[in-house]
Structure 1
Amino acid sequence: RPERVSAIISDELSAIRQEFGQSKVGARRSHIEHNAQDLATEDLITPTDMVVTLSHSGYIKSQPLSEYRAQKRGGRGKQATATKEDDWIEQLFIANTHEYILCFSNRGRLYWLKVWEVPEGSRGSRGRPIVNMFPLVEGEKINVVLPLTGTASSFPADQFVFMATSMGTVKKTSLDEFNNPRKGGIIAVNLDDGDYLIGAALTDGKHDVMLFSDGGKAVRFDENDVRPLGRSARGVRGMSLDDGQSVIAMLVAAQENAATQDTIARNSVLTATENGYGKRTPIDEYTRHGRGTKGMIAIQQTERNGKVVAATLVNNDDDIMLITDRGVLVRTRVSEIREMGRATQGVTLIGLDEGAKLSGMQRIVENDAQAGTDDDGADAPAADDTP
């Protein structure tokens, strides 16, 4: 009968409680721990080496390095990312998911990203606009991205962030000044009205800095001529400018390129002007001058040339991308641009339509990442070594 079955079950449960339960009726053997350690999202992320790409239009994404297996010499490689005709890869670097990326804006602010926060995408995807990853104000944009090895608590004090602004101000700040990441970013350099950040680089205190103005001048000086300053400081004079002129580029000479992890020391400076002219000059022709001077002639600024719009370090086997204010792109081999002395006008880099201007130039980071065996390259023929 049901009543009898229920009574038997009740008696058996009572016996179990008497034998295995605690003395207090209703007490439980387990307990809830209220002080358990909280887990951050990063604690659940497996440390993994990633290939991070950033395009000229500001699209960023990551892919596991394991997707790029080592190829035989002469292999065709794998495409790292998809880009539109008016876009190209501007930076490519390898970093661990637990490492930081320092992102500087034209307003002189610094924002942090952990590599694991960069959206992972396939080779066929463009990625995500980097401007959507930070609380930027109107008119603010990310213009320098630097990968950084190590954690925020161990940023080395003997490394520096060297920055330059359009008005010729430079500033060197110890890297450990930036070891307190904040979601809303922090001030990296205080700027005067109308001024903006044009460049930033990681240095170790042992290199030269080069500044280029749109008036065709360049100054090269030892970075130790600039003493380290705190984050809130405005900096010191790096280059003197004539009225109406501005600094358009900052280069760090004889230094591994921190943004792309390129260990090749680029030995030429390529300058370009708004009317489509430019030239390549050996870096040794740019001798040291005192900080704060007007510097030396980098390229003749004439009516034919117009203002200087870009300067970059290159090697003979690099490619560059030229872009006009009308959206026209031209890719050119550096080897096709002959080397010339500093005080010359240069040669034609790009033919411009009437009224058009050259607005920018960028050394291209190869789209085919060969960091890693791919079936495409397993049987690839070896490269021809014939001269």
Structure 2
Amino acid sequence: MEDLIAPQDMVVTFSHGGYVKSQPLADYRAQRRGGRGRQAAATKEDDFIERLFVAHSHDYLLCFSSRGRLYWLKVYEVPQGASSSKGRPVVNMFPLEEGEKITAVVPVREFDDNHFVFMATAQGTVKKTPLSEFSRPRPSGIIAVGLDPGDYLVGAALTDGRYDVMLFSSEGKAVRFAEDDVRPMGRQATGVRGMRLPEDASQRVVCMLAADDESKAVLTATEKGFGKRTPISEYTRHGRGGLGMIAIQTSERNGALVGAVLADQSDEVMLISTGGVLIRTGVAQIREQGRSTQGVTLIALGEGEKLAGLERIVERDEEDLGGGNGNGSGNGNGNGGGRDDAEPLPEPPAGETPPQVH
């Protein structure tokens, strides 16, 4: 059947609310810079496009779940839809268990031995597995990482052995270490300590970032609506397994850290409150500050409302899409969160919303 699928480049979008769709890249005609662009997908008022890839129709999308499982999807299997359609719910495409969510998506063309999938969990465990280990798909999915009771996956990224990895805790701490501090392991291995957390389970790792240079800034946000952007160079590299350095003050004013993203000044981010309010803002409007500061107001929250998370908005105008090379590259650096494998899912701390596809 696959031989009958026309080889072509496709634009694949995942929405925050859990919808996926594809369109032929040829549907996006090139525009002069400054054009209005073309809508990639219809979304509800409380949804937005969170991931966008330009990938070949025969490429794989590796979809990592909160319970540490991996599901495959060929790009040609993603339902096609017009710009005005939302797409299909991701939960209808995989045999997900109750509470299990897709938390990271990585586009791949070849399962070579020169790339790795780097993963992190809420309890601070990290693991690096050769990409070739994920080359044998099963309809029911396969184990991507072994999880301890109560643990869950918070991120997955495609790396080449030369990235820096950053983990951020709810206490506002961050660790940065070289990817090669972690040796490659098999799929079912649990991993090694990436960040040390208190034994009382009062804190957790909320996100993982993977950076291959220092051109971007780190944007951090707290549950009471404060945040800032800080040059990545201020996060000094240390060995893995430490308690971390201050990323943002988690004072009574700020509350806990809920998320961090890598962003350029030209990017925009979406802030999501527990009350379902979405605020879109330009990164350039957020003041650049040092690591130890408290940050500035990002969003005005209502009574009893908290900031649930933030995401970098993925948008491409037609000119950008027309320049895609279809090599499966994209922004699939998995900043999301997730859950456990075999046991009932732990409830997130009060006021927090478990991540979803994203």
Q: How does 1:266-281 map to 2 (within 5 A)?
A: 266-281=215-230
Once the two structures are TM-superposed, the CA of residue 266 in structure 1 deviates from its matched residue by 4.7
| Displaced runs of 4 or more, over 3 A | 367-370
1:120 partnered with 2:76: no
Once the two structures are TM-superposed, the CA of residue 372 in structure 1 deviates from its matched residue by 3.2
1:333 partnered with 2:282: yes
Report the structure number with the largest CA radius of gyration: 1
Q: Is the 8 A contact 2:31 2:318 kept in 1?
A: no
Q: How does 1:193-272 map to 2 (within 5 A)?
A: 193-242=149-198, 243=200, 244-254=202-212, 266-272=215-221
Q: Is the 8 A contact 1:80 1:369 kept in 2?
A: no
The 2-side partners of 1:285 and 1:188 are apart by: 32
**CA gap 1:214/1:330 in 2 versus in 1, 3 angstroms:** same
The 2-side partners of 1:80 and 1:214 are apart by: 33
Q: Which moved more, 1:195-204 or 1:238-247?
A: 238-247
Matching residue of 1:284: 233
Matching residue of 2:304: 355
Q: Is the 8 A contact 1:82 1:125 kept in 2?
A: yes
SS where residue 281 of structure 2 aligns?
Answer: strand
The 2-side partners of 1:306 and 1:287 are apart by: 24
SS where residue 91 of structure 2 aligns?
Answer: helix
Matching residue of 1:104: 64
For structure 1, list consecutive stretches of 5 or more residues without a partner in the other structure.
Answer: 1-40, 256-264, 374-387
Q: Which structure dedicates a bigger proportion of its chain to helix?
A: 1
The 1-side partners of 2:105 and 2:18 are apart by: 10
The 2-side partners of 1:163 and 1:285 are apart by: 23
1:170 partnered with 2:126: yes
1:134 partnered with 2:94: yes
SS where residue 119 of structure 2 aligns?
Answer: strand
Q: TM-score, normalised by structure 2?
A: 0.88
Q: Which amino acid aligns with 1:138?
A: E
- Paired residue for 2:15, among 45, 55, 65? 55
What is the CA deviation profile of residues 240-297 of structure 1, one whole-angstrom value per residue up to 9, with x for unaligned ones? 0123100001001226xxxxxxxxx752000000000001101000001110001100
Once the two structures are TM-superposed, the CA of residue 130 in structure 1 deviates from its matched residue by 0.9
- Paired residue for 2:2, among 42, 46, 58? 42
Once the two structures are TM-superposed, the CA of residue 139 in structure 1 deviates from its matched residue by 1.0
SS where residue 228 of structure 1 aligns?
Answer: coil
SS where residue 206 of structure 1 aligns?
Answer: coil
Q: Is the 8 A contact 2:177 2:237 kept in 1?
A: yes
SS where residue 78 of structure 1 aligns?
Answer: coil
The 2-side partners of 1:369 and 1:54 are apart by: 18
Q: How does 1:74-89 map to 2 (within 5 A)?
A: 74-89=34-49
Matching residue of 2:266: 317
Once the two structures are TM-superposed, the CA of residue 317 in structure 1 deviates from its matched residue by 1.1
Q: Is the 8 A contact 1:67 1:372 kept in 2?
A: no
The 2-side partners of 1:297 and 1:135 are apart by: 40
The 1-side partners of 2:230 and 2:299 are apart by: 18
Q: Which amino acid aligns with 1:131?
A: V
SS where residue 154 of structure 2 aligns?
Answer: strand
- RMSD across aligned C-alpha pairs, in angstroms? 1.2
The 1-side partners of 2:301 and 2:261 are apart by: 21
Identity rate, percent? 67
Q: Is the 8 A contact 1:79 1:369 kept in 2?
A: no
Q: Which moved more, 1:140-149 or 1:67-76?
A: 67-76
Q: Is the 8 A contact 2:30 2:318 kept in 1?
A: no
What is the CA deviation profile of residues 174-213 of structure 1, one whole-angstrom value per residue up to 9, with x for unaligned ones? 0001111111100000101110000000000011100000
